[in-house]
Structure 1
Amino acid sequence: MEKNGKISSAVIRRLPKYYRYLGELKRMGVNKTSSRELSEMTGFSASQIRQDLNNFGGFGQQGFGYDVESLRFEIGKILGLDKKYKVIIVGAGNIGEAIANYTGFYEADYEVVSLFDKNPKLIGLSIRNAVIRDIDYIEEYLKAEKVDIAVICTPKSVCQQIAEKIVACGIKAIWNFAPKDLKMPEGVYVENVHLNESLFSLTYYYNKLKGE
């Protein structure tokens, strides 16, 4: 439960990392942890971790630290990971296929229910039991089926048009891998993922290290 009204996006973006490392501790059989230990694992300061968690109630007890399983469960609830989500992927090329096979979907409760593409050679094939359908029928599908999240893996030239089409059918959350930032109306959340931006940042630091 959020204590202080609106939570900054920086805090929200740190929560998945806490969730991931707590999962690792759980798999190792660790029952208790502290903000100091989480700091060593995540790279965030112990005070930052405590501040982040205090936004939602704290969850720990001074002198005793955090119960790993309980804290992970509570962070999962904050992130909405206690629910199931149905996902479609638009674009069944290399990136779309890789995302459809991404094990992270299936470790959490995300179900890829269908893919869409215009390539007749792909239509009718399945990836992990999700059928690739003709993109011309995407609106018909969305009107008939409940879908929570759409993943866009199309070329740059068509991604905005496709996004507008699926939003008109009720989609409110888009994970966008097309090489263009989507512009959506208020009430629709888009996570634009640009792999080359991460690569270019890495390249900068690599060359900086070489220069030193």
Structure 2
Amino acid sequence: MSRREKVSMSVIRRLPRYYRFLIHLKEKGVTRISSTELSTKLGLTASQIRQDLNCFGGFGQQGYGYIVSQLCDEIGNILGLSGKYPTILFGAGNLGRAIGTHMSFESEGFRLIGIFDNSPERIGMELANLKVRDVAGLEEFCKKEKPVMAIFCVPRTAAGELAEQLYNLGIRNFWNFSHYDLSMRYPDAIVENVHLNDSLMTLCYRISDQSAK
């Protein structure tokens, strides 16, 4: 088992937060920071931060801390942000337009190469410097352009059939905003299910819990 295979997903899910904060520090001109200073800013313990980073090797020096630009680059490499994985997006409605327009795919490891919809009103419109394509041409597009990741901004009722088609076309990576749980059906696929309602309900619980104290 490789070193990476031993790293828990809880550690992996903290890495983007570290990376985002370090990018902010670089932009402010900060060159060095200690784990204690990081812990104060991020609301984690210094020990937790050191343990997380030690999963991938030692990046800091005792009594000196971390070089911000170096640590930022190292975490970016761990996350694979230079991959530029070719990506297609499904659904050019409100959510799809927001994702396609406002996500910085290039700096986060992906390259948006196609957007698809089945609505005649949306097919042909321009979004994120791409023309929205008819989903009827999906198979031909995939054979030619070979995307490796798909984003679902479609209703739950459409997600199952679409996922099966993409899976059969060889796509195994999904960023899923529908309410259809892809990982349950395709255990060998890499899936990030994003349930905005779950996040909102979690926030509701925390507010209710605080109010009850």
Fold-level similarity (TM above 0.5): yes
1:14 and 2:44 matched: no
Residues 167 and 180 of structure 1: CA distance in aligned 2, closer, same or farther (over 3 Å): same
Amino acid in the other structure paired with 2:78: I
Of residues 163-172 and 70-79 in structure 1, the stretch that sits farther from structure 2 once superposed is: 163-172
Distance (whole Å) between structure 2 residues aligned to residue 128 and residue 4 of structure 1: 34
TM-score in terms of structure 2 length: 0.93
1:104 and 2:104 matched: yes
Deviations 1:103-139 (A, max 9, x none): 4324445322111111001111111211211111112
Match of 1:190 in 2: 191
Residues 4 and 147 of structure 1: CA distance in aligned 2, closer, same or farther (over 3 Å): closer
Distance (whole Å) between structure 1 residues aligned to residue 188 and residue 206 of structure 2: 37
Contact 2:81–2:109, Cα closer than 8 Å, also in 1: yes
Match of 2:212 in 1: 211
Deviations 1:147-196 (A, max 9, x none): 12210111111202111211211212100000121134343101000001
Residues 152 and 123 of structure 1: CA distance in aligned 2, closer, same or farther (over 3 Å): same
Contact 2:81–2:107, Cα closer than 8 Å, also in 1: no
Match of 1:125 in 2: 125
Distance (whole Å) between structure 1 residues aligned to residue 63 and residue 70 of structure 2: 17
Match of 2:71 in 1: 71
Residues 193 and 4 of structure 1: CA distance in aligned 2, closer, same or farther (over 3 Å): closer
Contact 1:164–1:184, Cα closer than 8 Å, also in 2: no
CA RMSD of aligned residues (A): 1.5
Q: CA deviation at 1:87?
A: 1.4
Q: CA deviation at 1:4?
A: 6.2
1:31 and 2:25 matched: no
TM-score in terms of structure 1 length: 0.94
Distance (whole Å) between structure 2 residues aligned to residue 164 and residue 103 of structure 1: 26
Match of 1:163 in 2: 163
Distance (whole Å) between structure 2 residues aligned to residue 103 and residue 82 of structure 1: 16
Match of 2:200 in 1: 199
Of residues 120-129 and 109-118 in structure 1, the stretch that sits farther from structure 2 once superposed is: 109-118
Name structure 1 gaps, 5 residues minimum. Answer: none
Contact 1:184–1:190, Cα closer than 8 Å, also in 2: no
Q: SS where residue 111 of structure 2 aligns?
A: strand
Match of 1:46 in 2: 46
Residues 55 and 153 of structure 1: CA distance in aligned 2, closer, same or farther (over 3 Å): same
Of residues 106-115 and 137-146 in structure 1, the stretch that sits farther from structure 2 once superposed is: 106-115
